[in-house]
Amino acid sequence: MKAVIFDLDGVIVCTDDLQFHAWKCLTDREEIYFTREINNRLRGISRAASLEVILERAAKHYTEQQKEEMLAYKNAVFVKELENLSSTDILPHITELLKKLKECGIKIAIGSSSKNAQMTLKQIGLSTAFDAVVDGTEIKHSKPNPEVFLAAANKLGVKPEDCIVIEDAAAGIEAAKAGHMTAVGVSDARHSPLADYRVDDVLEIAEIACR
């Protein structure tokens, strides 16, 4: 193995609460039924696809223009909330894992569907920690399409077969496998039947990658 590609949200940092709150501001405004359970279905999918899931419970039809306004509104709320994020929000053992991977010569990258990935990394103090970052502004297809991970491997100059992907969402595991990479499931993705490895503690990833 030559590289480890990390999903960002739910792997490096958890913005679930911020995401939930931002969508909730929108659904309250529009009087659309929205719960944490519905929010859980939005993990790993694009902003536009997330809105379609939310609109399943809407009482009225929205035009494309209205949908764009809604997405812009939600994102504005979310970006405002991101300002509260700091290095204390980095998930347990991630900093130690990154250090161990560097020590054994493994390249590290971010492969995130989020258009706010750069800002998130900056807020948590990791904007220069990765050898490559591919985010939602650089891809056409969101996960389970492998585009984001293939682009990250390409930026690193590493073959997909030599990459490990760390994901917390089933769609991300699917994307990694579609890109012929080794997939490690953490959190919710531990239940994905496609995952090659399932870990409770991310430090186990150093053992898998540095073998």
Tell the smallest beta-carbon distance from residue 72 to Ca ion (Å). 22
Q: Is 7 a catalytic residue?
A: yes
Tell the smallest beta-carbon distance from residue 7 to Ca ion (Å). 4
Check binding of 135 to Ca ion (CB under 5 A): no
CA-based torsion, 39, 42, 46, 52: positive or negative: negative
∠ Cα 14 198 154 (to 5°): 70
CA distances from 69 to 28, 31, 53, 111, 142 (A): 15, 16, 16, 27, 21
Q: Is 17 a catalytic residue?
A: no
The answer to whether 198 and 207 are in contact (CB under 8 A) is: no
DSSP secondary structure letters along 102-122: HHTT-EEEEE---TTHHHHHH
Check binding of 174 to Ca ion (CB under 5 A): no
| Binds Ca ion (CB under 5 A): choice among 1, 3, 6, 10 | 10
Check binding of 168 to Ca ion (CB under 5 A): yes
| Binds Ca ion (CB under 5 A): choice among 4, 7, 47, 107 | 7
Both structure tokens of 207? 């053992």
Tell the smallest beta-carbon distance from residue 44 to Ca ion (Å). 5
- Residues that contact Ca ion, how many (by CB under 5 A): 6
* Positions in the binding site for Ca ion (CB under 5 A): 7, 9-10, 44, 168-169
**Active-site positions?**
7, 9
